[in-house]
């Protein structure tokens, strides 16, 4: 069984990239444009430093936090009235069972070949954090991507401002070095920001639908079969946009903003749209 937290080359690369972009933004872009001795320079350096610290903290937490493993004693109770849905195998209709881990799989759990164990509500295995993204760390992963996008965009704004309002009047080696540093920083920031924006947009969509990446691709195949058979399949865990946000990010906006909020539940059962419909049906 592979545990999270091991340092790998991709993790070292991400940490090195964060360190370089912080140095380039503060000590090249801000210092070269506004100056670290001015009020504007100090303010921008302080804001960017705060964003970089949040980005680094959420990244390290996503690396180290356990995504959630399936208890070996887990057994689905098909007679439990509180559980409105049980996931079964497509072909046989039997309850999902992991032959490698030798236990039943809770809903939304999948076996990770890299981690060599079943992960609760598994989204995907991410090489950049050397960890699975699952029930226990999905929120912190999502918040990290959000902070990374904000930090990169702020750095990009400073970079563009520095390039278009360059106040360096002296031509020489220092000016050439400054421009070279801006070019290198830009070559890193532009594709990185674009990639992170795409990743953030993808996970915003998944959160709004209460889907994992695995469920999305499984759903695409299911919808294809549904069209052939002239019936529709609804994602059972889609509770509506607001309820989806609550179930993933927490019960209030304050908990949404807190990356270490512990409101995630055990991860063995999840509410379905049937539960929402039953709870909102008026009594006669």
pLDDT of residue 152: 96
Give CA–CA dist 84/275, Å, rounded: 7
Q: What is the mean pLDDT of residues 16-27?
A: 95
Q: DSSP code of 42? A: H
Return the biggest CA–CA distance within the chain: 84
Give CA–CA dist 238/14, Å, rounded: 34
Catalytic residue among 126, 132, 152, 258: 126
79 strand-pairing partners: none
The tens digit of pLDDT for each residue in 263-274 reads 667 888 888 877
Give the pair of three-digit tokens for residue 253: 């906006």
Give the pair of three-digit tokens for residue 172: 């020489």
Strand pairing of 103-104 and 124-126? unpaired
Give CA–CA dist 222/208, Å, rounded: 19
Give CA–CA dist 13/18, Å, rounded: 9
Mean pLDDT of the chain: 84
Q: Is the pLDDT of residue 282 over 50?
A: no
pTM here?
0.87
The tens digit of pLDDT for each residue in 163-221 reads 887 655 555 556 667 788 888 899 999 999 999 999 999 999 999 999 999 999 887 65
Give CA–CA dist 207/233, Å, rounded: 19
Give CA–CA dist 162/267, Å, rounded: 48
CA distances from 87 to 9, 51, 226, 270 (A): 37, 41, 18, 11
Is 101 labeled as catalytic in the residue annotation? no
Q: What is the mean pLDDT of residues 8-23?
A: 95
Q: Is the pLDDT of residue 143 over 70?
A: yes
């Amino acid at each position: 069984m592979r545990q999270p937290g091991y340092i790998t080359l991709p993790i070292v690369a991400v940490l090195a990239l964060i360190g370089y972009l912080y140095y380039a933004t503060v000590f090249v872009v801000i210092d070269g444009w506004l100056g670290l001795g001015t009020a504007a320079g100090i303010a921008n350096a302080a804001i960017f430093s705060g964003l970089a610290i949040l980005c680094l903290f959420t990244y390290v937490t996503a690396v180290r936090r356990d995504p959630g493993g399936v208890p070996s004693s887990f057994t689905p109770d098909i007679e439990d009235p509180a559980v409105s849905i049980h996931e079964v195998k497509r072909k046989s209709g039997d309850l999902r069972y992991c032959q490698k881990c030798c236990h039943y799989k809770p809903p939304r759990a999948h076996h990770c070949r890299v981690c060599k164990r079943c992960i609760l509500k598994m989204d995907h295995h991410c090489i950049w954090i050397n960890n699975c993204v699952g029930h226990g760390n999905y929120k912190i992963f999502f918040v990290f991507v959000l902070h990374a996008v904000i930090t990169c965009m702020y750095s990009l704004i400073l970079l563009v401002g520095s390039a278009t309002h360059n106040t360096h009047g002296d031509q020489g080696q220092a000016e050439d070095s400054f421009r070279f540093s801006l070019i290198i920083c830009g070559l890193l920031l532009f594709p990185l920001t674009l990639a992170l924006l795409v990743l953030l947009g993808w996970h915003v969509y998944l959160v709004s639908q209460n889907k994992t990446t695995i469920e999305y691709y499984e759903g695409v195949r299911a919808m294809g079969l549904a069209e052939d058979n002239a019936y529709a399949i609804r994602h059972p865990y889609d509770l509506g946009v607001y309820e989806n946000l609550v179930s993933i990010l927490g019960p209030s906006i304050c908990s949404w903003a807190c990356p270490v909020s512990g409101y995630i539940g055990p991860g063995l059962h999840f509410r379905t749209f049937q539960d929402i419909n039953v709870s909102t049906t008026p009594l006669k």
